[in-house]
Amino acid sequence: WRSRGKLQIFQYQVLKWVLALFVGVVVGLVGFFSNIAVENIAGFKLLLTGDLMLENRYLAAFVLYIGCNAMLAAAAAALCAYIAPAAAGSGIPEVKAYLNGVDAHSILAPSTLLVKILGSVLGVSAGFVLGKEGPMVHTGACVASLLGQGGSRKYGLTWNWIRYFKNDLDRRDLITCGAAAGVAAAFRAPVGGVLFALEEVTSWWRSALLWRTFSTTAVVTMVLHALITYCRGGHCGLFGKGGLIMFDLGSRQVTYTVTDLAAVVLLGVLGGLLGALFNFLVDRVLRVYSLVNEKGACYKIVLTVTISVITSCCTFGLPWLTTCTPCPPELARTKCPTIGRSGNFKNFQCPPGHYNALASLFFNTNDDAIRNLFSAGYDFREFGVSTLLIFFTTVYTLGLLTYGVAVPSGLFIPVILAGASFGRLVGTLLGSVSGLDPGLFALLGAASFLGGTMRMTVSVCVILLELTNDLLLLPLIMLVLLIAKTVADCFNKGVYEQIVRMKGLPYLEVHAEPCTRSLVAGDVVSGPLVTFSSVERVGAVVETLRSTGHNGFPVIEDPPFAPAPELCGLVLRSHLLVLLQGRIFTRARVKTGAAEVFRTLAPFDFAKAGSGKGLKVEDLQLTEEEMDMYVDLHPITNRSPYTVVENMSLAKAATLFRGLGLRHMCVVPRTQGRPPVVGILTRHDFMPQYIRGLYPNVLPR
Amino acid sequence: WRSRGKLQIFQYQVLKWVLALFVGVVVGLVGFFSNIAVENIAGFKLLLTGDLMLENRYLAAFVLYIGCNAMLAAAAAALCAYIAPAAAGSGIPEVKAYLNGVDAHSILAPSTLLVKILGSVLGVSAGFVLGKEGPMVHTGACVASLLGQGGSRKYGLTWNWIRYFKNDLDRRDLITCGAAAGVAAAFRAPVGGVLFALEEVTSWWRSALLWRTFSTTAVVTMVLHALITYCRGGHCGLFGKGGLIMFDLGSRQVTYTVTDLAAVVLLGVLGGLLGALFNFLVDRVLRVYSLVNEKGACYKIVLTVTISVITSCCTFGLPWLTTCTPCPPELARTKCPTIGRSGNFKNFQCPPGHYNALASLFFNTNDDAIRNLFSAGYDFREFGVSTLLIFFTTVYTLGLLTYGVAVPSGLFIPVILAGASFGRLVGTLLGSVSGLDPGLFALLGAASFLGGTMRMTVSVCVILLELTNDLLLLPLIMLVLLIAKTVADCFNKGVYEQIVRMKGLPYLEVHAEPCTRSLVAGDVVSGPLVTFSSVERVGAVVETLRSTGHNGFPVIEDPPFAPAPELCGLVLRSHLLVLLQGRIFTRARVKTGAAEVFRTLAPFDFAKAGSGKGLKVEDLQLTEEEMDMYVDLHPITNRSPYTVVENMSLAKAATLFRGLGLRHMCVVPRTQGRPPVVGILTRHDFMPQYIRGLYPNVLPR
């Protein structure tokens, strides 16, 4: 059924492109509107609180602030806990696992999409130390998956053309585009989005996909550009000041000496260490939280509200610790303090003409806080050492505590916040030694933390460049990223890989595990092998499908059809179910041939259904008489499955399995005169836990 | 011999990184010095000519100009023709083929490297319409290959640690780094270099490689940055004005209307058409030239000098056609005309206070011409329509004529020149309709031509961004690239793929050819299969090695060692030669075992030697007595070669072969009771020409 007419190929090509571009449009719109929502909700909340503060009604302001935050947090947690638990967390590890071939349930369901968008808006508005970037990636993937399925059949929105996309390859491609579009929408960084998808998310990459992903992110950028231009006119409430470049720093003259380079290297090393520590602690915190979260939805909400109250107390309470700073004279009257709008130099509790440095960071949206940290400080040191130290410690801790709660939460923003404050701290401390700007140090600090936690290099570098629009910073950012990643890699793995592993998703690594080197493929084949004869009794098929959970079965060509038993191929559970549903049975044990089958069933009936929508064996309604008839499996058997010989090194088999993205692989015997297939290898047989369970004494890790 | 100690793994890791960084340093230095050399030679030539022009000695100036160019061209051609013919042309197709697994002779030899650098400097200085970018990629790859081999054994420069790198994988990785470093050095575009390597050059890509490539290009950038900063002080002769960003355009306010977008789309379509035409014509020109070049080295030199004279006549003669333009008043005295230095507004034959627009483009180095075309033209239209039209036509034609001559010649610069002039022409013509700057149109035109000829999108986009340092242009560049590539793809393939195909290199495409769908693996296995017994007579082995050119032989386990003949594995010619050289023979037909072999030979003796340095069968000096003894092939047999069953679809076999980067694949029989191996598939068996030769009636292309 692979032979298609020219028209069909054309339809397919057009549709592939239309879908990719359409994903871009939708993700661009979603990203834009969630941005607007966040800016308006959070801005309104901060404005109300600020007004009360101006009237010196501090307690009322505090109650309002903490109440708003807790309510928003509770709403987000309730959505996550009751409607779509899969929407909690970053979503990047799940997307990564999906693209590796793990079809985990509900990762990309429509309900997850809805909760992810709403929950992310609510969570960010609630003032948590978390970002909407990770959730945007997940959102992009969900949108792509939904569009690729032609809408949800549950809600009656399907479309016939979409049938071309009911296979793993096209679906994965589209979801890769979606993930890239998510990054592009979150950071307004099209090239960064493509590189992120390439470096972090996908497991298989083709050159053609590079191009398609790129055009998707281009569409995202254009949609954002158009909408932001529209918003500049003031049509979008409190939103509207941001351009396409989020933190446009203006060009600094970057000339650096050897001392500066030494400072940058130091920053990289420290960033790597703190990043590795962050990963370690996140892992611990997640383990503790998962004990709480397992107890039920209510516990999830309580945990979330608790963290929200702690966050509110910190952000509202800590600014009281610092003394007020008088505004620099050249900025007074126009820029300092900012009252009634977002910006630098928050007034908080200070008398007119003064600002509270810590409030400028805490009592703001996260985006504004980052902008403040990145801002140049040539002539005037806005933030003191103590301010930065308090902010860094608080954000680092809150970032750790927040990630595991049941709201959609990205890690980018906490890491950038902590890194930027840390970098600015180092820059301020080294002010006498290094001539670099503290704002530049903040940027480099953010880079070092990103490198230390996420272990991405190229994509982070490009994203930071696109965020700041200054290519001259490139060599410094690269240097700091490389150092931070190298240092952190000595201690543990990247945070996303850690989470994938903690969730127990069977993720196939690129490199085969060391323990597979000394084993052969035959060693890990286990359990009784279930095979079908090429023309099999219906009852036997149904019985087997009921009693096992396997998804692939080898088909053996038995004596009437071949001189000796030989491997005919591999048949999939889903195809078997469709064939049985079609009731193309014969009384005698004879071949019916493909023509017979395809008179009743169209080739597209065998296409892969969306998640959770395939036929189930319980759906079959077969009579006793039918159960005794025979069904010819030839037409639906994959006649050339990939096979390995049983004495093939397991590492090599794993390379083949991973390299070609297989789901089943037949193991055939080496010597003759034995059954023609020894067993089947699936993803789980390559998992190191499983192998170490079988052979505890095999080479240690 | 894969089990290594911890120390060895550490040595290997350190060395891998040191080498990658060292490649960066060397390529950075080479790129910088070839830049200096070009600027100084070409600058000196132009200065001398210009001085004569100022004295109104036009004929003398012409003779000097044409003579210098012809001499430089002849020198470059002589180097190429006599020393290293492989150095002619761009080199990108060859590197691409090498990384696909084609071990063509002398592509990466030290002599090629030397000629590539010198020839490229001479060729660019000679005023040809060609660039040093393609050659820089080849140079980078050669440097990496040379360093990876630990210098050349021929010249006695080897190093023991390097033995870890004597295998295909590490060598390919390093050469990928080298290619990326070449792009980074040529365009001073580190991220662009990585993406170029990813999109255009490599065939297999791993995430780890992304990081290593990136650090190599980071080193290149830092080396360049340091050297350029040094040169700013005026220590480098005529060179020294360029910064790290080649064509720093300054920020333009880019706001565009729907009409502007329409103009951009038009530009993309036209660029795609002209790009496809360029590819078509280049193919024809190369075919004609190859007839000339085949006749001998002298013909090559004559052809090169002819083209050089034509180029000189055009660049010197055509500016006389235009009338002189008075300098814009605001620039007079300081910037217009430029005399005695490089820059815009060349004086040429014009009276003082006037400039010759065409000479500003022709009578300049290519880099300066591009800078002039990209320069903003808000208030003053420097180049008229006729100027741009003449320049575009000339450059397009000369670019076509120049590529095939026997000098190292890149395609980037001709394409950018033609595209930029074309874009600026369109921009000037549409000046009344579109409000975009003609300089911006020039940039977009260059993008459209690059997209139309090379069919790269992401890397070209990023390279252009890094060349111009303006991220706001991103959406427009993306749009124009996508349109140009889509349009051009309707007509033919990318120019590098065309050249690979024309040179007859057995390049494996990602997608299996359509004609392989209807065939099975057994269909293309041909010729008598040569196998060895697991313990074979020495004479038989030597005889076989002498009489066939095969590189891999299946080893069969025969009755004394196994109950029935079965496939033991695959043995490589190079390993056989090493084993025979080691003379570990026995009189009786018994297994000697691995311990015996490795007492005499170290595992690293079997490592893959550099190109053209392995043992040859003629080197073996075996006595008659030894020829009658037996050799045990078990220790050197690859015991788990990848195999396919003979009735596996050829397309699937091709996917496996390409996906895992194999060189040999065993085809095993489906039914029992036959010899345990049917044949061996190699790269050539998957070539469409070969398959169509066997089965002329199989599905047409």
Are residues A104 and A36 part of one domain? yes
Among the partner-chain residues A222, A471, A566, the one whose CB lies closest to the CB of B671 is: A566
Residue A11 lies in a domain: no
Reading the block at residue A443, the tokens are 């940027």
Residue A291 lies in a domain: yes
Are residues A223 and A106 part of one domain? yes
- In this prediction, residues B504-513 reach a mean pLDDT of 79
User: Going by C-beta distance under 8 Å and a sequence separation of 6 or more, which residues neighbour residue A367?
Assistant: A242, A246, A413
pLDDT at position B410 is 87
For chains A and B, count residue pairs whose Cβ atoms are closer than 8 Å: 158
Last residue in a domain, options B616, B639, B662: B639
Report the amino acid identity of residue B346. Answer: K
Are residues A326 and A457 part of one domain? yes
User: Going by C-beta distance under 8 Å and a sequence separation of 6 or more, which residues neighbour residue A80?
Assistant: A87, A88, A115, A119, A300, A406, A407, A408
pLDDT at position A380 is 56
- β-strands A643-645, A665-668 pairing: parallel
* CA–CA separation, B164 and B16 (whole Å): 9
* Residue from A238, A229, A282 nearest A454 by CA: A282
| CA A370 from centroid of its chain's CA atoms | 22
Inter-chain CB proximity A218 and B482 less than 8 Å: yes
pLDDT band at A335 (very low <50, low <70, confident <90, very high): low
pLDDT at position A273 is 95
User: Going by C-beta distance under 8 Å and a sequence separation of 6 or more, which residues neighbour residue B182?
Assistant: B27, B31, B136, B137, B138, B139, B140, B141, B193
* CA–CA separation, A553 and A556 (whole Å): 10
Q: Would residue A453 be called left, alpha or beta, if left means φ above 0 and alpha means ψ between -120 and 50 degrees?
A: alpha
pLDDT at position A581 is 81
Residue A49 to residues A66, A350, A370: CA-CA distances in angstroms?
A: 10, 15, 21
Nearest-by-CA chain B residue for A639: B648
Are residues A484 and A604 part of one domain? no
Are residues A191 and A54 part of one domain? yes
Nearest-by-CA chain A residue for B646: A640
Residue B276 confidence (pLDDT) above 70 = yes
| CA B251 from centroid of its chain's CA atoms | 33
Lowest mean pLDDT among A585-594, B444-453, B473-482: A585-594
Omega prior to B352 cis, within 30 of 0: no
Residue B700 confidence (pLDDT) above 50 = no
pLDDT at position A157 is 45
pLDDT band at B655 (very low <50, low <70, confident <90, very high): confident
Nearest-by-CA chain A residue for B256: A226
Q: How far is A532 from chain B (nearest CA, A)?
A: 18
Lowest mean pLDDT among A529-538, A661-670, B153-162, B620-629: B153-162
CB burial class (10 A; 0-12, 13-18, 19+) of residue B159? exposed
Higher pLDDT: B256 or A639? It is A639
Q: Is A346 helix (H, G, I), strand (E, B) or coil?
A: strand
- In this prediction, residues A322-332 reach a mean pLDDT of 73
pLDDT at position A471 is 66
Reading the block at residue A307, the tokens are 């963290």
Are residues B56 and B108 part of one domain? yes
Report the amino acid identity of residue A609. Answer: A
Lowest mean pLDDT among A100-104, A342-346, A468-472, A585-589: A342-346
Are residues B595 and B551 part of one domain? yes
pLDDT at position B452 is 93
Phi, psi of B533 (to 5 degrees): -80, 160
Are residues B121 and B21 part of one domain? yes
Are residues A543 and A518 part of one domain? no
Residue B40 to residues A368, B67, B311, B312, B365: CA-CA distances in angstroms?
A: 50, 17, 20, 19, 11
- In this prediction, residues A421-437 reach a mean pLDDT of 83
- In this prediction, residues A283-300 reach a mean pLDDT of 89
Residue A692 confidence (pLDDT) above 60 = yes
pLDDT band at B54 (very low <50, low <70, confident <90, very high): confident
Phi, psi of B566 (to 5 degrees): -140, 160
User: Going by C-beta distance under 8 Å and a sequence separation of 6 or more, which residues neighbour residue B556?
Assistant: B531, B532, B533, B534, B565, B566, B567, B568, B675, B676, B677
**Complex ipTM tops 0.85:** no
One-letter-per-residue 3-state SS of A459-528: HHHHHHHHHHCCHHHHHHHHHHHHHHHHHHHCCCCCHHHHHHHHCCCCCCCCCCCHHHCCCEHHHHCCCC
Residue A250 lies in a domain: no
pLDDT band at A28 (very low <50, low <70, confident <90, very high): very high
pLDDT at position A272 is 94
Among the partner-chain residues A207, A475, A660, the one whose CB lies closest to the CB of B218 is: A475
pLDDT at position A2 is 46
Lowest mean pLDDT among A655-664, B249-258, B536-545: B249-258
Residue B428 lies in a domain: no
Nearest-by-CA chain B residue for A255: B229
- Greatest mean pLDDT among A280-284, A525-529, B468-472 lies in A280-284
Are residues B635 and B653 part of one domain? no
pLDDT at position A597 is 73
pLDDT at position B677 is 86
Residue B397 lies in a domain: no
Residue B212: which domain range?
A: 6-232
pLDDT digits (tens, 9 = 90+) for A31-85: 988 888 888 888 888 888 888 888 888 889 899 999 999 999 999 999 998 988 8
Inter-chain CB proximity A673 and B672 less than 8 Å: yes
pLDDT at position B514 is 74
**Contacts of residue A475 in chain B, CB cutoff 8 Å?**
190, 218, 221-222, 225
pLDDT band at B156 (very low <50, low <70, confident <90, very high): very low
Length of chain B measured in residues: 701
**Contacts of residue A222 in chain B, CB cutoff 8 Å?**
475, 479
- State chain B's mean pLDDT as an integer: 82
Reading the block at residue A152, the tokens are 């949800």
Q: How far is A14 from chain B (nearest CA, A)?
A: 12
Indicate which CATH number applies to the domain containing B684: 3.90.1280
Residue A599 confidence (pLDDT) above 60 = yes
Residue B694 confidence (pLDDT) above 70 = yes
pLDDT digits (tens, 9 = 90+) for A228-279: 878 777 777 655 555 545 565 555 556 677 788 888 899 999 999 999 999 9
User: Going by C-beta distance under 8 Å and a sequence separation of 6 or more, which residues neighbour residue A527?
Assistant: none
pLDDT band at B157 (very low <50, low <70, confident <90, very high): very low
Higher pLDDT: A163 or B493? It is B493
Reading the block at residue A541, the tokens are 């098929």
pLDDT band at A418 (very low <50, low <70, confident <90, very high): very high
Reading the block at residue B466, the tokens are 């890094």
**Contacts of residue B194 in chain A, CB cutoff 8 Å?**
458
Q: How far is A243 from chain B (nearest CA, A)?
A: 10
The two counts, helices (H) then strands (E), for chain B are 25, 11
* Residue from B143, B142, B118, B121 nearest B131 by CA: B121
Residue B53 confidence (pLDDT) above 80 = yes
Residue A297, strand partner residues? none
- β-strands B532-533, B585-586 pairing: unpaired
* CA–CA separation, A125 and A117 (whole Å): 12
Among the partner-chain residues B566, B642, B659, the one whose CB lies closest to the CB of A670 is: B566
pLDDT at position B698 is 64
* CA–CA separation, A56 and B115 (whole Å): 79
Length of chain A measured in residues: 701
Are residues A474 and A434 part of one domain? yes
Dihedral of CA atoms A397, A401, A402, A405 in degrees, nearest 10, equals 180
Last residue in a domain, options B232, B256, B278: B232
**Contacts of residue B670 in chain A, CB cutoff 8 Å?**
566-567
Indicate which CATH number applies to the domain containing A350: 1.10.3080.10
Residue A3 confidence (pLDDT) above 60 = no
Residue B2 confidence (pLDDT) above 50 = no
Domain count within chain A: 4
Inter-chain CB proximity B255 and A229 less than 8 Å: yes
pLDDT digits (tens, 9 = 90+) for B349-398: 777 777 888 888 888 778 878 888 887 765 556 678 888 899 999 999 99
Report the amino acid identity of residue B619. Answer: D
pLDDT digits (tens, 9 = 90+) for A201-215: 888 777 778 888 988
Last residue in a domain, options B614, B639, B664: B639
pLDDT band at B539 (very low <50, low <70, confident <90, very high): confident
- In this prediction, residues B400-425 reach a mean pLDDT of 90
Among the partner-chain residues A214, A229, A566, the one whose CB lies closest to the CB of B670 is: A566
* Residue from A251, A181, A232, A144 nearest A470 by CA: A251
- A195-225 burial, b at 16+ Cβ within 10 Å, e below that, comes to bbbbbbbbbbbebebbbbbbbbbbbbbbbbb
Residue B420 confidence (pLDDT) above 70 = yes
- In this prediction, residues A462-475 reach a mean pLDDT of 77
pLDDT band at A338 (very low <50, low <70, confident <90, very high): low
Omega prior to A337 cis, within 30 of 0: yes
* Residue from A85, A99, A179, A93 nearest A500 by CA: A93
Are residues B95 and B188 part of one domain? yes
Higher pLDDT: A541 or A326? It is A541
Residue B556 lies in a domain: yes
Residue B122 confidence (pLDDT) above 70 = yes
* CA–CA separation, A344 and A355 (whole Å): 9
**Contacts of residue A557 in chain B, CB cutoff 8 Å?**
none
Q: How far is A32 from chain B (nearest CA, A)?
A: 17
Q: Give, for A16, the enclosing helix (H) or strand (E).
A: helix A6-54
Residue B73 confidence (pLDDT) above 80 = yes
**Contacts of residue B207 in chain A, CB cutoff 8 Å?**
199, 510
Report the amino acid identity of residue B357. Answer: A
Please give the order of strands across the beta sheet that includes B552-557: B532-533, B552-557, B566-572
Residue B452 lies in a domain: no
- State chain A's mean pLDDT as an integer: 82
pLDDT digits (tens, 9 = 90+) for B10-24: 777 788 888 888 999
pLDDT at position A613 is 61
Residue A653 confidence (pLDDT) above 80 = yes
Nearest-by-CA chain A residue for B520: A640
Lowest mean pLDDT among A16-30, A385-399, A625-639, B240-254: B240-254
pLDDT at position B304 is 92
Residue A5 lies in a domain: no
pLDDT digits (tens, 9 = 90+) for A523-545: 888 777 888 888 888 888 888 88
The count of other CB atoms within 10 Å of the CB of residue B10 is 11
pLDDT digits (tens, 9 = 90+) for A378-413: 555 667 888 889 999 999 999 999 988 888 988 888
Please give the order of strands across the beta sheet that includes A643-645: A643-645, A665-668, A679-681
Rounded (10°) angle between helices B6-54 and B207-232: 40
Q: Give, for B445, the enclosing helix (H) or strand (E).
A: helix B438-454
Inter-chain CB proximity A225 and B475 less than 8 Å: yes
- B674-690 burial, b at 16+ Cβ within 10 Å, e below that, comes to eebbbbbbbbebbbeee
